[in-house]
Structure 1
Amino acid sequence: MQPTADFDPARLARSLLRRSHQGALATLMAASGDPYCSLVNLASHPDGSPILLISRLALHTKNILADNRVSLMLDERAEGDPLEGARIMLAGRAEEAAEGELELACRRYLAAHPSAEVFVEFKDFAFFRIRPTGAHLVAGFGRIVDLGPEQFLTDLGDAAGLLEAEAGAVTHMNEDHREAMNLYATRLLSADSADWACTGCDPEGMDMQADRRTLRLDFPDRVTNGTELRKMLVRLAGEARARR
C-alpha cells in the first residue's frame, strides 16, 4: 500500500527513533535459531541509531553474541487502541560499542535513563549499538512503507564540531536555560509545562525529556558545530517567546 500524499515517512521514522526509550528487541536463539523477544531500554546515537545497555548474562545478549541480526519494534504509545498509533520495525545488526564510542554511548544512554548509572560499572553490562539495514513503518491506513537507513538516519559527515560541542551544550542548557527548554516544549511543541531537560543534540534537532515523556524539537536548518547550535537555540527561544 502506498502512503498518502501528505505523509512524510522519513520524518516520522526519525521522530520515533529519537523519542522512543523502550522497545521490543527480537533476537535469534543461539541453539535453535528460534525467535526470542524481550523488552529493552534504549537511547539514540546522534545519527538516530539505537543504543542499548545490556547484560552478558541476559539471553538476548547471548543470542546477539552468537548471531547479531536483530529487529527492534518501537511505537509512539498513543492513547486508546495501540494499533492506531505509529510504529516502526527496525532491522539491523547489534554491535558492541568500540572503545572510542563508549563515552558518547554512556553519556547519551544515561541522559535518557539516569537510574541506569549503577549498571555501567558492572562488568557483565556493555553498550551495544544497532546498525540498521532497513525499517518497516506503519502509521495507519494508507501509511505503510519500507525505508532504507539513508532515509531515517542523520548524516554526521560534516558535524564533527557539533559532536565535540554536544556534551557541553547539553549541560549548559540543563543548568542555565530550563526556562527556554520549557518554552520550546510549551510554545513550539504544544506540550504541557514541566521540568523539561535536554538529552541530546544532533544536526537536525534536539531531544527533550520530562519524567517518562519525550519530545523532539526539529531545527528549521541543519547545524554542524557549536556556534551554529547556540545561534539556533537562541533563535528558537526568540520564536517561542514571541508566540502566545
Structure 2
Amino acid sequence: MNDRKKDVIRETDAEAIRLAKTLIRSARFGALAVIEPGTGSPLASRVGVATDIDGTPLILVSMLSAHTGASDPRCSLLVGEPGKGDPLAHPRLTLVCRAARLERGSDEHARTERRYLNRNPKAKLYAGLGDFSIFRLELERASLNGGFGNAYLLERADLVTTAPIVEELAAGEQSALDHMNADHSDAIAVYARHFAKAAGDGWVVTGFDADGMDLALGDDICRVFFPEPLRTARELRHVLVDMAKTGRVAD
C-alpha cells in the first residue's frame, strides 16, 4: 500500500516549484483550516490572502472569528482557483503551516500590512480596526496537485526565500512600486501582455520579490517571473529595464 502511494508522487522539479510559487503568489483568497478549540475537530473558513516578500502567506483576520480562537497554531491553507470544466482538473496547493500573529507597531507588522493592502486594497476599510490582526502562516511543507497524475511534495526551502535579499528588497520595495506605477505604466503593460499573456489595460505592480513581481487589474492577478532570481536588490532596476526592452521587441 505504501509503495503504491509513493508511486503517485512525482519527483519535485523546477516546473513543480514554479507552479506552486505561482499559486501562492497569485492567490487572492484561500481555505484556512484550523483545529477547533474544545473539540479538536477541523474547522475551515475562507480568508483573504497575500504573501510576504519571502513567499510566506499572509492573512488579515478578525480576532472575533471562530478560526482565530484556536490556541493550536497548526493550520493548513488551500489555494488555487478552479476554472471552466472539472474543478479537480485545475492545480491547487495545500500548505501546512503554523500561524504567527504579528505585533502591531513592529516593523514586521508594518511591512506585511503594507503588502497585504497592496494586494487587497478593499481591506483598508477594516485593517485598522483593533480586532483585526495580521498573521504570517509559517510554512513547513506543501502538497501540490497539478491536475490528474501530477502530485508533488514540497519542502519549505522550495517555496520560501531566506537570503539577505529579502530584507534588501523590503527596504525599498514601496518606493519602487510607487515609481513604476506612477511613471512606467507602459512597461507594466509589456510585462502583463508579453510575460504573463494577460489581457486588459491598467495593470499595476503590487509586489516585488527575488523571483518576480505580482500584477493586479481590479480583481485579476497575474504573476511574472524574472528570467533569473535576483541576487541583490540593486539588480531590480536593470532586470525591469531589460524585460521591458525584450517584451517591446517581441511585440
> 1:238 — aligned with what?
245
Q: Which whole-Å deviations, capped at 9, do the CAs of 1:27-57 have from their partners, x for residues lacking one? A: 1111111110000001011111111110010
Matched, 1:45 2:69: no
User: 5 Å matches for 1:15-164?
Assistant: 15-63=22-70, 66-98=71-103, 99-164=106-171
Q: Percent identity?
A: 34
Matched, 1:185 2:192: yes
The 1-side partners of 2:12 and 2:225 are apart by 21
- Structure 1 spans left out of the alignment, 5+ residues: none
| 8 Å Cα contact 1:166-1:200 kept in structure 2 | yes
**Counterpart secondary structure, 1:107:** helix
1:120 shift after superposition? 1.8
The 2-side partners of 1:138 and 1:188 are apart by 24
| 8 Å Cα contact 1:51-1:129 kept in structure 2 | yes
Q: How many residues align?
A: 242
What TM-score does the superposition give when structure 2 sets the normalisation length?
0.91
| 8 Å Cα contact 1:71-1:91 kept in structure 2 | yes
1:154 shift after superposition? 2.2
The 2-side partners of 1:193 and 1:209 are apart by 11
The 2-side partners of 1:156 and 1:174 are apart by 27
| 8 Å Cα contact 2:11-2:152 kept in structure 1 | no
**Counterpart secondary structure, 1:127:** strand
The 2-side partners of 1:109 and 1:5 are apart by 29
The 1-side partners of 2:209 and 2:52 are apart by 9
> 1:205 — aligned with what?
212
| 8 Å Cα contact 2:63-2:132 kept in structure 1 | yes
| 8 Å Cα contact 2:12-2:152 kept in structure 1 | no
Residues 47 and 5 from structure 1, CA distance in 2 versus in 1: closer, same or farther, beyond 3 angstroms? Answer: closer
Q: Which whole-Å deviations, capped at 9, do the CAs of 1:61-118 have from their partners, x for residues lacking one? A: 111xx11110001113322211100001101101011422111111100011111112
Residues 209 and 71 from structure 1, CA distance in 2 versus in 1: closer, same or farther, beyond 3 angstroms? Answer: same
The 2-side partners of 1:39 and 1:159 are apart by 28
| 8 Å Cα contact 2:165-2:233 kept in structure 1 | no
Q: Which whole-Å deviations, capped at 9, do the CAs of 1:171-192 have from their partners, x for residues lacking one? A: 1111111111111111222110
- Structure 2 spans left out of the alignment, 5+ residues: 1-7
| 8 Å Cα contact 2:35-2:41 kept in structure 1 | yes
| 8 Å Cα contact 2:55-2:161 kept in structure 1 | yes
The 2-side partners of 1:91 and 1:2 are apart by 17
What TM-score does the superposition give when structure 1 sets the normalisation length?
0.94
Q: Which whole-Å deviations, capped at 9, do the CAs of 1:140-195 have from their partners, x for residues lacking one? A: 23210111110112233344322211111111111111111111111222110221
The 1-side partners of 2:171 and 2:20 are apart by 26
* One-letter code aligned to 1:72: L
Matched, 1:11 2:18: yes
